[in-house]
């Protein structure tokens, strides 16, 4: 009989799992057990601390609903979601625009608008334009461009309106040259929901809880890898301290006044060209959209 102690327990657990028929499950679980046990040993966890951790994870699960995913929020605030995105980018077969978190406010079936239209019910304040290209710099005609964002008070439509109402989101189709252009309002950054156990964690860590102003995009075309990304506004006070670690240098931009290339020169404009990588066998890059892919109901955060 194996003598179980703080060191031999790891090998004992791995031995019991060694007959797992699914090779990927076997690999993932073995790595998980090794790191969990190493974490407990390094931290020298006490029984009270272990129970506190169990209580915290239980509270995270109890906070989840079909329209609120507290575990994804936890993953976001620990940097795990951003890490998963980075690993997803690394597996691409060719270079493309960096991904970013899809966030909890994505909704399927946003209204289709014609190029140049405004996605905000209020008056447009900025223009966004550019092209959708492949890795060789060639245009991708007819690419689908979904966009969603907060208003100028940092609020999404799901937080303000009846859930059947959509504002500040739309789907566009790039023209034959891969060009797109639209009008919207300048978004404002916002604080993540702090009314649950993840909020308690953020406060205990003395973190501010803010996300910098950003605009989400989901772009796709046949034969290309779906791109889920966001553009971040450089002048936001929290551009260097995003609570969910979504900001990447290549996605930081800012409006330009009197841009001669803008189709709406009277508006401050953002020019951004998106690059789609060729399709591969890798699954979705939509980190954060589950579980509901919001359609008809509202999200609670």
Question: Residue 250 gets which letter from DSSP?
Answer: G
Number of helices (H), then strands (E), belonging to the chain: the values are 7, 11
* Residue 105's pLDDT band (cuts 50, 70, 90): confident
Using alpha carbons, list the distances in angstroms from residue 92 to 36, 137, 143, 283: 29, 17, 19, 11
pLDDT-above-90 percentage for the chain: 82
* Whole-angstrom distance, CA of residue 301 vs CA of residue 288: 12
Question: Residue 136 gets which letter from DSSP?
Answer: T
Per-residue pLDDT tens over the stretch 189-240: 999 999 999 999 999 999 999 999 999 999 999 999 999 999 999 999 999 9
* Residue 296's pLDDT band (cuts 50, 70, 90): very low
Please name the residues in contact with 223: beta carbons below 8 A apart, sequence gap of 6 or more. Answer: 278, 279
pLDDT of the residue at 286: 56
Q: Over 90: is that where the pLDDT of 118 sits?
A: yes
Percentages helix, strand, coil for the chain (3-state, rounded to 5) are 25, 20, 55
Per-residue pLDDT tens over the stretch 57-102: 999 999 998 778 899 999 999 999 999 999 989 988 899 999 999 9
For 111-130, what is the mean pLDDT? Answer: 95
Q: Do the bridges between strand 144-149 and strand 214-220 make them parallel or antiparallel, or are there none, so unpaired?
A: antiparallel
Question: Residue 32 gets which letter from DSSP?
Answer: H
pLDDT of the residue at 122: 85
Per-residue pLDDT tens over the stretch 141-199: 999 999 999 999 999 988 876 767 899 999 999 999 999 999 999 999 999 999 999 99
pLDDT-above-70 percentage for the chain: 92
Q: Over 50: is that where the pLDDT of 251 sits?
A: yes
Nearest to 289 by CA among 239, 226, 222, 221: 226
> Comparing 3 with 42, which gets the higher pLDDT?
42
Average pLDDT, the chain: 91
Domains of the chain: 1-45 (no CATH), 70-276 (2.60.130.10)
* Residue 123's pLDDT band (cuts 50, 70, 90): confident
pLDDT of the residue at 285: 55
pLDDT of the residue at 297: 36
């Amino acid at each position: 009989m194996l003598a179980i102690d703080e060191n031999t327990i790891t090998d004992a657990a791995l031995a019991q799992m060694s007959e797992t028929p699914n090779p990927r499950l076997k690999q993932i679980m073995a790595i998980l057990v090794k790191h969990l046990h190493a974490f407990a040993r390094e931290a020298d966890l006490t029984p009270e601390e272990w129970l506190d951790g169990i209580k915290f994870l239980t509270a995270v699960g109890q906070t989840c609903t079909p329209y609120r995913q507290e575990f994804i929020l936890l993953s976001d605030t620990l940097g795990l979601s951003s890490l998963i995105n980075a690993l997803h980018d690394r597996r691409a077969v060719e270079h493309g625009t960096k991904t970013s978190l899809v966030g909890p406010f994505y909704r399927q079936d946003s209204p289709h608008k014609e190029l140049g239209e405004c996605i905000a019910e209020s008056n447009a304040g900025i223009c966004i334009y550019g092209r959708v290209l492949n890795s060789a710099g060639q245009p991708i005609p007819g690419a689908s461009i979904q966009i969603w964002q907060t208003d100028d008070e940092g609020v999404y439509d799901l937080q303000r309106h009846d859930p059947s109402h959509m504002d500040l989101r739309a789907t566009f189709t790039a023209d034959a040259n891969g060009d797109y252009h639209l009008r919207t309002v300048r978004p404002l950054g916002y604080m993540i929901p702090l009314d649950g156990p993840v909020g308690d964690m953020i406060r205990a860590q003395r973190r501010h809880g803010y996300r910098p102003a950003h605009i989400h995009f989901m772009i796709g075309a046949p034969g290309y890898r779906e791109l889920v990304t966001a553009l971040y506004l450089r002048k936001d006070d929290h551009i260097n301290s995003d609570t969910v670690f979504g900001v990447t240098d290549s996605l930081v931009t800012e409006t330009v006044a009197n841009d001669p290339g803008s189709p709406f020169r009277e508006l401050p404009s953002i020019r951004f060209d998106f690059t789609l990588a060729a399709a591969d066998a890798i699954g979705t890059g939509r980190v954060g959209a589950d579980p509901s892919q919001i359609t008809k109901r509202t999200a609670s955060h």
